[in-house]
Amino acid sequence: MDLKSRWLARFPKGEAAFEALVAHYQEPHRHYHNLDHIQDCLALLDEVKDQLDDGDAVELALWFHDVIYDPKAKDNEAQSALWAQYWLTELGEAEDVVAKVAHLVRLTAHPAQPSSADEGYLLDLDLAILGADPQAFDRYQQQIREEYRHVPSLLYKAGRAKVLRSIARAPRLYHSNYFFERREKQARANLAAAIKRGWQ
C-alpha cells in the first residue's frame, strides 16, 4: 500500500493533512529524513505491530516524528509533536490519543530510556538503519552528511564521530528483542567501521 492510501485508510477525510505532511517531508534540504524514511519505518512496523500494545499510536508517531526537520535546530522533535497535536486535533482524534502520540514523537529525540515496550519499539524503528546492511548504512551516512552540508568538513567529522561513539557506548542499541536479535550485531559492526574511518 502506498503512503497516501495508507494514510487515507486511517483518516478518510485526511487529504489536507496528508498534503501538508508530504510538503514538509519533501523539503529540499532533506536527504534522509524524508518520505523514504517514513516508508521504511512503516514497513518495519508492519513486521512487529502485532507485538505492540498500541500499534496505532506508534504508527501515528512514526508519521509525524520528523515532520519538522531543521538540521540547525535543537527542538525538531518538540516542534514535530506540536505539529502532530494540531493536525490530529483537526482530524478529530480524542485528547488522550493526541497527547500519547505527541509524547511518543518527543521521545524520538532519544532523551532517555523508554518506559514501555511500545516506546522501545518506536525508538528501535527510528534507528533501525543502524543495523542495515553496510551499503545501506553507508548511504544513510552520506545522506546525513548532505543534510549537514552547511557544517565545514573538519567540524562535521569531529561532531559525527562524537555522535557515533556516544551511540556505540550504549550497552544495548535496540530495546526490543526483535530488533536486538536481528540488527544489534550488524549495527555494532557498522558503527565500529564508521568510527574507524572517521566520518566525512
Do 146 and 102 have their domain in common? no
Of 98, 118, 138, the position where a domain reaches its end is: 118
Do 196 and 144 have their domain in common? yes
Longest C-alpha distance within the chain, in Å? Answer: 50
pTM score, two decimals? 0.96
| Count of the separate structural domains present in the chain | 2
Residue 53 to residues 42, 84, 116, 137: CA-CA distances in angstroms?
16, 21, 10, 30
Of 57, 90, 118, the position where a domain reaches its end is: 118
Q: How many CB atoms lie within 10 A of CB 11?
A: 20
b/e string for 69-107 if b means 16 or more Cβ within 10 A? beeeeeebbeebbbbbbebbeebebeeebbebbbebbbb
pLDDT at 151 over 80: yes
Do 112 and 29 have their domain in common? yes
What the block records as the C-alpha cell of 26 is 519533501
pLDDT at 1 over 90: no
Do 13 and 79 have their domain in common? yes
Closest CA to 40 of 114, 121, 127: 127
d(CA 43, CA 40): 5
d(CA 185, CA 109): 23
60-115 confidence digits (pLDDT tens):
999 999 999 999 999 999 999 999 999 999 999 999 999 999 999 999 999 889 99
Average pLDDT over residues 111-131: 97
Do 145 and 176 have their domain in common? yes
DSSP conformation letters of 80-104: HHHHHHHHHHHTT--HHHHHHHHHH
Do 55 and 150 have their domain in common? no
Please check whether residue 108 is in contact with residue 72, taking contact to mean a CB–CB distance below 8 angstroms.
Answer: no
Query: pLDDT band at residue 171, thresholds of 50, 70 and 90?
Result: very high
65 DSSP 8-state letter: T
Average pLDDT over residues 157-181: 96
Q: How many CB atoms lie within 10 A of CB 164?
A: 19
Query: By residue range, what is the domain housing residue 135?
Result: 127-200
Of 118, 145, 163, the position where a domain reaches its end is: 118
Closest CA to 108 of 33, 46, 36: 33
Do 174 and 139 have their domain in common? yes
